[in-house]
Amino acid sequence: MIGQTRHSQNTTRYAKDLLDVATMPRTQILALIRLASTLKKKQQRGVPHRLLGGKTLGLLFQKPSTRTRVSFEAGMNQLGGHALVLPMGDIQLSRGETIADTARVLSRYLDGIVIRTYDHKIVEEWATESTMPVINGLTDHSHPCQALSDLLTIQQLKGRLKGLSLAYIGDGNNVANSLIEAGAKMGMRVVIGCPSGYQPDQRVIDRARIDGQATGAAIEVVENPMVAVKEADVVYTDVWISMGREREQARRLRILSPYQLNHRLLQRARPDAIVMHCLPAHRGEEISAEVLDGPQSVVIDQAENRLHMQKAVLTQLLTCKKGAR
């Protein structure tokens, strides 16, 4: 969900909150990709782009983070604003203050907030109660900033999005959900290769197939990983034991072991296929070292683009004219 919408000065419709990709207009996603590309070029050329001077962003993380936290914090600083980390143990939420009271108060202090938590309903409640933009930094349901950054990476390396085939192999988790939503918006073919019981959210799949009718996208879920990666332009995987699933480790390793992204599996994809992983990675589990560190891997470029896309998201959301709630 992307909360209510509001208008920028050029009348383009923007979302107040970024909670997932599903309800983002395709035009907004394209605008973010263009803006992220522009900001990336400016940084590479050393051109200042302090577009958020005087703005303050809050970072409230209930899960560990490297790329999400650092890219948002560094990005906000590069844009001329300030990022304020809010450790859960240091604020009154940890002592029973309601999300509603916290959100209303922080909306008077901050210009936006990034929340990384477990239950997706938490970020939805924040969006309902806040008058500042709320950005989903990751929930158990979705990881929209990752998927948007991945679109930027694929666009830059492949020159297009529409018509490309993306194969995601392994656990149908939050990243898989967001990639399905993003691929549907962009007219891609997204094939999820996963074992029974580990499929992505069926509601996400159903919604994406509806979106795909307008864009020419195709969403498929198969159990055979060899079938999933056949002729893929992009082969993607993620960890098998997500945060909060540690007690399931032994069972997950056993069931998902046939889904390792290795050289044998990669040979089924197109010769020029790129390999993606949102990191952190566990070599020898969901992906072999030879593939993760091999010539077709773009994981470091992919991680870098988190910074540029996060800056685009912040610029778009924090500079729009706020509408009445």
pLDDT digits (tens, 9 = 90+) for 191-233: 999 999 999 999 999 999 999 999 999 999 999 999 999 999 9
**Catalytic residue among 233, 238, 260, 310, which?**
238
Per-residue pLDDT tens digits for 291-302: 999 999 999 999
**Catalytic residue among 67, 120, 141, 143, which?**
143
**Catalytic residue among 67, 69, 116, 189, which?**
116
Which of these ranges, 180-184, 229-233, 249-253, has the smallest mean pLDDT?
Answer: 249-253
Please give the C-alpha separations between residue 48 and each of 36, 82, 308, 320, in angstroms, as whole numbers. Answer: 14, 16, 14, 21
> What pLDDT score was predicted for residue 92?
86
264 among known catalytic residues: no
Q: Which residues, 6 or more positions from 193, have their beta carbon under 8 angstroms from its beta carbon?
A: 167, 168, 169, 170, 222, 223, 224, 225, 227, 228, 229, 259
**Catalytic residue among 69, 141, 252, 306, which?**
306
> Above 90 in pLDDT, residue 272?
yes
247 among known catalytic residues: no
6 among known catalytic residues: no
141 among known catalytic residues: no
306 among known catalytic residues: yes
As a whole number of angstroms, the distance between CA 174 and CA 238 comes to 10
> What pLDDT score was predicted for residue 248?
86
143 among known catalytic residues: yes
As a whole number of angstroms, the distance between CA 143 and CA 154 comes to 17
Per-residue pLDDT tens digits for 301-319: 999 999 999 999 999 999 9
Domains of the chain: 5-142+305-318 (3.40.50.1370), 146-303 (3.40.50.1370)
pTM of the model: 0.94
**Catalytic residue among 146, 260, 302, 310, which?**
146
> What pLDDT score was predicted for residue 87?
85
As a whole number of angstroms, the distance between CA 106 and CA 108 comes to 5
Q: In degrees to the nearest 10, what's the CA dihedral of 293, 65, 109, 93?
A: 160
Provide the pLDDT confidence category of residue 157 given band limits of 50, 70 and 90.
very high
As a whole number of angstroms, the distance between CA 264 and CA 56 comes to 48
Provide the pLDDT confidence category of residue 91 given band limits of 50, 70 and 90.
confident
